[in-house]
Amino acid sequence: MSTTVQEEQTHALESLPALDSAYPLTATQIAEYQQEGFTFLRGVASPEEAAAYRTFITGLTDEYAKGYKPLDQRDTYGKAFIQLSNIWSRDPAVAKFTLARRFARIAAGLMGVDGVRVYHDQALYKEPGGGHTPWHQDQQYWPLDGVPCVTLWMPLVDAAEDMGTMRFAAGSQSLGYLGPQNISDDSEARFQQMIADKGYDVRAVGAMKAGDATFHNGWTLHGAPGNASPSVTREVMTIIYYADNGIISVPDSKQRESDLGRWFPGLKAGDAAASPLNPLVYHKEKLP
């Protein structure tokens, strides 16, 4: 008996790892996140789980990358990575990854909140020879002042230290919002000087296995060196979470105005941060 294309797609989707099982956090890991503004967790997904979803994420990202100029024709931001956002809304297989209960439960546990919503996901693929990612704060782009936010950053392939894994200015999340400052040569210079002046310890994560992950606070200063590999792309998937019941803040910059329209369609400052693009993915009472 023959099967339809839809049946084959359904079977392929159902065969993907569920990613629903718990990843027990230790008190030490939670304390590190709260104090330092980040933590590095081994084996958040197994190599096999990461490989299963990599097929779909990389396929979409590679197709999108065809629209990019050659590396030597891009600015600093463009050289840092190929960036494809909100992939979960394009493919049900990727949605199963981005909306996974395991990852969301970790995010809620680290932030110490009851539930979390997805702001958006994005693939960040740093090509061989790709440039550094300048120092920056993630949350300066988001109209979510006063709302706890965290970013999951997971390589889908083994990433050697010289391929551009993360570095953090430990404790810098305590500075809060440092104003509009896009990822650029200017942000690199400004925040490098600030880190030095304030004496923050820069922590490089080093080599990561496929399925390892860092989680960092939305205000933590972070960046990454370039990819020195001659042939291997640093394939990374990120997911941004924020605490449930957050309120959209008044945008004070063009980038926040843009994000308000893009990620909270139909909403405005003062509204609950809960558009159809921001599903509740974990809540200890509603979605245990």
CATH of the domain at 64: 2.60.120.620
Cα 177 off chain centre by:
18
Is residue 7 one of the residues assigned to a domain?
no
d(CA 20, CA 18): 5
d(CA 288, CA 286): 6
Is residue 116 one of the residues assigned to a domain?
yes
Domain that holds residue 67: 35-283
Q: How many domains does the chain have?
A: 1
Please give the backbone phi and psi of residue 272, each rounded to the nearest 5 degrees, phi first. Answer: -65, 135
d(CA 57, CA 55): 6
- What are residue 176's DSSP bridge partners? none
Is residue 9 one of the residues assigned to a domain?
no
Is residue 117 one of the residues assigned to a domain?
yes
8 A C-beta contact, residue 85 and residue 5: no
Cα 48 off chain centre by:
20
Is residue 91 one of the residues assigned to a domain?
yes
Per-position pLDDT tens, the chain of length 288: 455 655 556 767 888 999 999 999 999 999 999 999 999 999 999 999 999 999 999 999 999 999 999 999 999 999 999 999 999 999 999 999 999 999 999 999 999 999 999 999 999 999 999 999 999 999 999 999 999 999 999 999 999 999 999 999 999 999 999 999 999 999 999 999 999 999 999 999 999 999 999 999 999 999 999 999 999 999 999 999 999 999 999 999 999 999 999 999 999 999 999 999 999 999 999 877
Instruction: Find the angle CA(29)-CA(148)-CA(175) to the nearest 5 degrees.
Output: 85
Contacts (Cβ under 8 Å, ≥6 apart) of 68:
74, 78, 82
For 265, counting Cβ atoms within 10 Å of its Cβ (0-12 exposed, 13-18 middle, 19+ buried), the class is exposed
Is residue 23 one of the residues assigned to a domain?
no
8 A C-beta contact, residue 71 and residue 98: no
| pTM metric for this prediction | 0.95
Is residue 3 one of the residues assigned to a domain?
no
